[in-house]
Amino acid sequence: MSKKIMFQGTGSTVGKSLITAAICRILNDKGYNVAPFKSQNMSLNSYVTQDGKEMGRAQVVQAEAARIEPMVEMNPVLLKPTSDIGSQIILNGKVFNQLKASDYYRNKEYLMTEVIKAFRTLEEKYDIIVIEGAGSPAEINLRKNDIVNMGLAEAIDTPVVLIGDIDKGGVFASIYGTYMLLSSSEQKRIKGYIINKFRGDVTLLQPGIDMFYEKLPIPCLGVIPYSDFQIDDEDSVTTRFEKPKEGSIHIGVIRLPYMSNFTDFTALELEQDVSVKYLATKDDFEEIDLLIIPGSKSTIADRIYLQNSGLDEKIYRCHKKRTPIIGICGGYQILGKTIKDPFGVETERKEVNGLGLLNINTVLEEEKKTIQRTGQILVNFDNGGKTQGKNVEGYEIHMGKTEHLDNESDFILLEEGLYDGCVNQEGTVFGTYLHGIFDSHEFREALLEPIRRKKGLNLNPSRHYRELKEEAYDYLGKVVNESLDIEAIMNIIESSN
């Protein structure tokens, strides 16, 4: 039976996902066959596995850090919010149901059986399972039927390490309060704690750690410094929407309320001369060299938002200036003439008009399409971008079927002679269902080259995204390895059943 360790946090965004990824990399470097696990994820950032199943991006990152292929058992339950009170439930990689929060909790017993099955599958394949909790285990109103924090820890009998975020302030209070709100059996599972995102000289924190041990005698397993790790975020609770990094090339991404898969743009953000700005107001549309309408979990609601907010006027203005516009998945649908929802997949509203920048119509269907793809770009951009013939790869996650009307060209030739996407006659507006298309470095370089030429920038070749990610995982592992008592963590793992 596999060894295991679980990382829970005093709250959201304390660093559970990244620390789990770091431990996966550290253990793999030590020669262990290790896998990540998170029973339940809530995120609009998802991924499609090789066998066409959908899972959360956080566990994909952790699997990559562990140098293994992502598999849906690493994240058996994925919640994709479609409103303030409801979510689409993805179970074992496929759509299970569309439920309100109150209805979801009535399904917890069944979901727990599926979670345990997934975990046991991983146990048969890997030496060590590194488990991530969600939010905080001290949310006592959610403790009954919990399947992701202490409920799961007790079901699979795993030791737990607690993570606190000192950058928010009150780290000792949050660790102490979390611990004290747990039951006695749950408290016994806490084998230590980690302080994350520390700024300054760690020796100045040591007296506080010593004093805290007198009040709560569990060991501090390390203090991790505040660092800028260039690794995909788990969900919309992210800092990437804040001030973008400086860059000579300005790429604007519309910040839709139900934006999905903003990890599509990580490869662009890693380009040294590129600044990716998420556009939330009409005042944000300044100096845009390339405009992107991203994926959406509620395409009709996001199209209505663009109209009501006046952002569609800014999109039309970019179009008139011949600024290249690219729509990804839901953004592709929004670029068309109409979006119809005859089955009520997203809303009771049966039809809305799109932006009309592509001569296409979309009908939302009841069955979701999830598949990995490879293909070749068929056209060049109007701005001089030599994208034609460039190879791309990505994955589709959508419930819509899009039909081309007159005078529009296909964007990508897929494997088996299939086609994806659409291009307007002028070569200024493009749409595709492929998430991850910017990860392909040849396409990304060809897309950015004419902008670099126009601005007199160096024409540095784009690097392979996989190489950049490997460097990021190595750096993450190095920082965490140097900051934690790895021997103590290994002892915790060895003590697990």
Counting other chains too, the contacts that 121-126 makes at CB distance below 8 Å and 24 or more residues apart are: 121/73, 122/2, 122/35, 122/37, 122/73, 122/74, 123/1, 123/2, 125/33, 125/35, 126/2, 126/33, 126/34, 126/35
For residues 191-200, one letter each, b for 16 or more C-beta atoms within 10 angstroms of the residue's C-beta and e for the rest, the string is bbbbbbbbee
Residue 297: closest CA among 79, 81, 93 = 81
Please identify which of the residues 24, 318, 329, 422 carries the catalytic annotation.
Answer: 329
Q: How far apart are the first and last CA of the chain?
A: 8
At position 269, the amino acid (one-letter code) is E
Please identify which of the residues 250, 319, 398, 435 carries the catalytic annotation.
Answer: 435
Residue 285: closest CA among 261, 258, 321 = 321
435 is catalytic: yes
Residue 109 CA to residue 124 CA, distance in Å, equals: 23
398 is catalytic: no
Name residue 296's beta-bridge partners.
Answer: 259
Residue 477 CA to residue 19 CA, distance in Å, equals: 9
Residue 186 CA to residue 189 CA, distance in Å, equals: 5
Helix (H, G, I), strand (E, B) or coil at 243: coil
Residues marked as catalytic = 329, 435
